Structure 1
Amino acid sequence: MSFVSAIPAALSPDAVAHFARRLSVETDCSDVGAALKAGDVDFVLLHVVGTPEAYARRHVPGAIHLRHAEITAERMAAWSSDTLFVVYCAGPHCNGADRAALRLAHLGRPVKLMIGGITGWEDEGLAFATGVEPGKLAAAA
């Protein structure tokens, strides 16, 4: 018996509940990139770590730089209460997006974490934006 099968797989109803729960709080770089490319942006993308200079050097197109420490009820009042926020940070070695997601959830805001962050975005071969503005997704070459 392998380490893979030593613990039996979950029953289907348990697996459904588990994976549905994960997808309710996570999205991935590919899905965010596809939404940006198609113009189906029904969320606000937040770049939640780093300095303004680091953001200006490289960020996911369309992302607003708002550090997790700056997420307050007053700041978030700029968006309607049902706005979905997608947060990301540097990558799997960074917990800034988790901190931002927790702050947003405490404020009663819908939120998903973009797993992989900047590292995942780069791994997917997706284009970055530069500058102090959110920027646009580059057209496919």
Structure 2
Amino acid sequence: MNDSAVLHYPPASPTETADYMQWKLRFHADAWDVAEDLSLGLDRLVVVDTRSAAHYAQGHVPGAISLPHREMTAERCAQLDRSKVYVTYCDGIGCNGSTKGAYKLAALGFLVKEMLGGLDFWKRDGHPLATGTQPGTMRRQVVGMACAC
């Protein structure tokens, strides 16, 4: 009898684990990586705040556009550049607005990743917020020494 709760279900092979972890990373980005890319001014990414316009104005990721998931329709998204990768976020792990937004954008044919932990993790990592209705920018802002993960 196996007395380990962890090992009750044996681990996958190293190859299976590597394949799964690579697969998982295709769907998510973390706040630190998003901040680094935004600070470099990479134009392949569009960060999308999926919360309400009022919440966006109170504080958002610098450079993010406001596109509430409730307003994501084919008509509203028609002007978006299909060559970009869209990174959605919301308040944090207790909110599924980023998941709903990622789903809607993907269903409309866009390349999408979801930012893990949303604005909660963004702030936890010490990144700045922009306020108001304009995106602002992270370009040339120092992200920090290194991610702790």
TM norm. shorter chain > 0.5? yes
Judging changes above 3 Å, is the alpha-carbon distance between structure 1 residues 54 and 80 closer, same or farther for their aligned structure 2 residues?
Answer: closer
Question: Unaligned regions of 5+ residues in structure 2, if any?
Answer: 145-149
Q: 4+ residue runs of structure 1 moved beyond 4 angstroms?
A: none
Q: Which AA in structure 1 matches 2:127?
A: L
Report the 3-state secondary structure (helix = DSSP H, G, I; strand = E; otherwise coil) of the residue aligned with 1:129.
coil
CA positional deviation for 1:96: 0.5
Question: In structure 1, what is the equivalent of residue 84 of structure 2?
Answer: 83
Q: Note if 1:130 corresponds to 2:131.
A: yes
Aligned-partner Cα distance in 1 for 2:132–2:111: 28
Aligned-partner Cα distance in 2 for 1:53–1:68: 13
CA positional deviation for 1:8: 2.0
Give per-residue Cα distances to partners, 1:29-63, cap 9 Å, x unaligned.
Answer: 0000001112223111100013x222111100001
Q: TM-score, normalised by structure 1?
A: 0.90
Give per-residue Cα distances to partners, 1:72-128, cap 9 Å, x unaligned.
Answer: 122222123232110000000000111011111111111000001000001111111
Q: TM-score, normalised by structure 2?
A: 0.86
Report the 3-state secondary structure (helix = DSSP H, G, I; strand = E; otherwise coil) of the residue aligned with 1:5.
coil
Quick check: 1:128–1:137 contact (8 Å CA) kept in 2? no
Question: Unaligned regions of 5+ residues in structure 1, if any?
Answer: none
Q: Which AA in structure 2 matches 1:30?
A: W
Quick check: 2:41–2:138 contact (8 Å CA) kept in 1? no
Quick check: 1:90–1:119 contact (8 Å CA) kept in 2? yes
CA positional deviation for 1:6: 3.3
Question: In structure 1, what is the equivalent of residue 61 of structure 2?
Answer: 60
The number of residues matched between the two structures is: 140
Aligned-partner Cα distance in 1 for 2:79–2:86: 12
- 76-85 or 93-102, which deviates more: 76-85
